[in-house]
Structure 1
Amino acid sequence: MASHRTPVRLRRGARYGAALGLAGALGAGVLLSGGPVTPRAVAAAPAAASLSLPRGNASFDYQLGGAYKPSAAVKVLSRDRSDRPVAGAYTICYVNGFQAQPEQLKWWQRKHPDLLLRDARGRLVIDKDWNEALLDTSTAAKRTRLASVVGAWIDGCSRHGFKAIEPDNLDSYARSKGLLTRADNVALATLLARRAHARGLAIGQKNSVELIPKAKRIGFDFAVAEECGRYDECGEYVAAYGSRVFVIEYRARDFAKACAAWGKRLSIVQRNLDLRPRGASGYLRKAC
């Protein structure tokens, strides 16, 4: 969730009900560990041009709060890595690559306690908006280990048939109390992009418009942009990715604004902030 222009951080809705599904995966030992990408695997990775990329301005759905059957018109959608892709639709795999979700914190503390960012007094650095501990991207050694852990999740996305990943919280450095730098996160994002490409997956830039100048170097192939209409950022994403920008707005007036400016070129939806699945109270999905 980019915060550089956001007076109130609304981005990335809470995954409604996802904790139960993820807890089951954790209990089964699914997608939690794996080896690092080898030089041979990276060398064998397909060039970005040969990857399957999402079609721009396609009907889009954003299902991080829980999977549900999309309408027949939907051709691109995003789901949490604990869910499964939709046959016949380009399904993007959500991975929280830079912060530890609350339901995973005990696992991180048990398996990789030194990969959690701590302040000078040894306290975890927490993203208070989402109650998520930041991961420590501050050294090359730690980034390599993080890329191994998150890389195993990316491998799982590939194994289950997803076409791409969207690693979230690229801008965790902005919430790190000065302990992390933009360069630290760019370096980890680059490792994750290599891992994704090595597994035949495209990778999307999730928010963090300030990283667009680094997008080509990192290896991003498209963008998932929350509230770019609200913050007048959509044009910057379009300049980098053309029509392969998938926009989520949470407020009606921002949705209307984005549709008026970009509805003929981009995939734009309005969702309720906690991204509830169809059938749940409060569910909302509209498209331009």
Structure 2
Amino acid sequence: MRTLSVALTALLVALVSGCSAPPAPDVALPPAGAVADYQLGGAYDPAPEVTLVVRDSTEAPAPGRYSVCYLNAFQTQPGETPAADLLLTDQDGESIADPDWPDERLVDIRTDAALERAADGIARCADAGFDAVEFDNLDSFTRSAGLLDAEDALAFAADLVQEAHAAGLAAGQKNTAELTEHGHRTGFDFAVAEECDVFEECAAYTDVYGDAVIAIEYTDDLRRPFAEVCADPDRPATMILRDRDLVPAGEPGHVFEHC
């Protein structure tokens, strides 16, 4: 598992000692042990056995399935034209990009503009008929050149959870295994974990969220055959294999398997 710095670990200990989990919201939680499909590369008809589908907020939810809406709350989306006051900027006034996704810019999550943008997205998910929302890039503070920290991320996450619950949606933590306990205390109801088997951190999610973990592995970076992943008794109850680009069914390169 990837490790935190000593300073960040100390900060998280202080945070968790000073807060407790909020009361359970009146929202529909993801079904335990669901067969999931992760369709961020484009919506398509899920396989008959699929009971849970994750789609982008610009798509419609999957009829008859528990539907999770994807929002990139902590960074901008490719092609988005953000307001100037939304972006995190360095001392030279330049916006900060994600080095792995250079067409995504870090959002200044300390601002009203960040929450207003996220609230608009949450409302769009609720109006479309989704059951839940997952918030991507909780760990963007680690790419902020020291301008943001875990406390900022968790404070913003608490606001996102409150907005989601007020809209009748369950709220999902996306990745950042080192913050699972703190995220759950913040109010997240479930987790979406990419490549937890590759990074050997699945237990960090299941120890906190139990069966409420949607785990995705990718074909281009497996550390062992997917059959072995599925045979592991300690794996998340919901575990799927997808192609890295998440292309729709019927297109070249599409892969979808489930345990």
TM range (shorter): 0.7 to 0.9
What does residue 82 of structure 1 align with? 58
State yes or no: 1:121 paired with 2:97.
no
TM-score normalised by L of structure 1: 0.78
What does residue 129 of structure 2 align with? 161
Partners of 1:265 and 1:128 in 2: how far apart? 29
3-state DSSP of counterpart to 1:117 = coil
3-state DSSP of counterpart to 1:103 = coil
Partners of 1:216 and 1:169 in 2: how far apart? 16
CA RMSD of aligned residues (A): 1.9
What does residue 133 of structure 1 align with? 105
- Gaps spanning 5+ residues in structure 2: where? 4-21
Following TM superposition, the consecutive aligned residue runs of length 4 or more in structure 1 with deviations greater than 6 angstroms are none
Measured against aligned partners, the alpha-carbon deviations of 1:252-272 in whole angstroms (never above 9, x if no partner) come to 426344312247751111111
What does residue 55 of structure 1 align with? 31
Count matched residues: 237
Q: What are the equivalent positions in structure 2 for 1:194-273 lying under 5 Å apart?
A: 194-251=162-219, 252=222, 253=224, 255-262=226-233, 266-273=237-244
Question: 1:51: Cα distance to partner?
Answer: 1.2
Measured against aligned partners, the alpha-carbon deviations of 1:47-67 in whole angstroms (never above 9, x if no partner) come to 635310111211110000000
The 8 Å contact of residues 37 and 50 in structure 2, kept in 1 or not, is answered as yes
Structure 1 residue aligned with 2:49, among 73, 77, 82? Answer: 73
**253-262 or 53-62, larger mean C-alpha shift:** 253-262
The 8 Å contact of residues 92 and 162 in structure 1, kept in 2 or not, is answered as yes
Question: 1:232: Cα distance to partner?
Answer: 1.2
Partners of 1:256 and 1:117 in 2: how far apart? 42
State yes or no: 1:94 paired with 2:70.
yes
Partners of 2:2 and 2:131 in 1: how far apart? 29
Partners of 1:53 and 1:223 in 2: how far apart? 11
Q: Which amino acid aligns with 2:246?
A: L
Structure 2 residue aligned with 1:282, among 250, 253, 259? Answer: 253
3-state DSSP of counterpart to 1:61 = strand
TM-score normalised by L of structure 2: 0.86
Partners of 2:254 and 2:78 in 1: how far apart? 23
Q: Which amino acid aligns with 1:273?
A: R
Question: 1:173: Cα distance to partner?
Answer: 0.5
3-state DSSP of counterpart to 2:101 = coil
Distance 1:265 1:272, change over 3 A: closer
Partners of 2:235 and 2:196 in 1: how far apart? 15
- Gaps spanning 5+ residues in structure 1: where? 6-45
Partners of 1:218 and 1:264 in 2: how far apart? 24
Question: 1:87: Cα distance to partner?
Answer: 1.4
Question: 1:282: Cα distance to partner?
Answer: 0.6
Q: Which amino acid aligns with 1:74?
A: V
Question: 1:94: Cα distance to partner?
Answer: 0.1
The 8 Å contact of residues 98 and 135 in structure 1, kept in 2 or not, is answered as yes
The 8 Å contact of residues 217 and 242 in structure 2, kept in 1 or not, is answered as yes
